[in-house]
Amino acid sequence: MKRLSLLLLTLCAGAFAQADTVVHWRGVEGVVTAPGVDNPVGQIHSGAGPWTTRNGSARIDLATGNGSFDVEGLVLNGGNASGTPGTVASVVGTLVCNAGSPAGTVEATVDTPTAVLSADGNAELSFKIGVPATCNNPLFLIRVPSGRWIATGTKPSMSSKSGY
């Protein structure tokens, strides 16, 4: 009985910890890859060339799905459109849960609505998404809608809502 109680307490504490967690990425960096080289994150392929950013951040409350992201200066780094977003006029944020998890844990992705990407490579969005019940190792990507990732959240930190 003590073992069962301890197991249930452990499982509930893990569920509570996620339910009370806000993830904040204090930076956003463009994908660094050579043209034609794929650098996948989970099941999502990277952009076909290198991108760079000036600044950015993302935040998601894993309990409510409320979040926001912003990126500044998201532009191509090379080629004829270097220093511009090229033909990319909008982006989405993608929460990736359970990336790189052991067998038996399913990777899950959830996209935000679309945000307009300005000619200077700036975009911002506040959103509400449905977060999977299990979201270990959360990652945040900025993608071309229904396509490849071109930037990723960096410098992640997690905090309880009460300490956020």
**Closest by CA position to 75, among listed 125, 116, 41, 119:** 119
What is the tally of structural domains in the chain? 1
3-state secondary structure 137-155: CCEEEEECCCCCEEEEEEE
Q: Does residue 6 belong to any structural domain of this protein?
A: no
Overall pTM surpassing 0.85 (yes/no): no
> Where does the pLDDT of residue 42 fall: very low under 50, low under 70, confident under 90, or very high at 90 and above?
confident
> Where does the pLDDT of residue 90 fall: very low under 50, low under 70, confident under 90, or very high at 90 and above?
very high
Stretch 52-63: mean pLDDT, rounded?
A: 97
pLDDT at 150: 96
Domain with 144, as residue range(s), is 22-157
Stretch 99-105: mean pLDDT, rounded?
A: 71
Q: Does residue 101 belong to any structural domain of this protein?
A: yes
Q: Does residue 84 belong to any structural domain of this protein?
A: yes
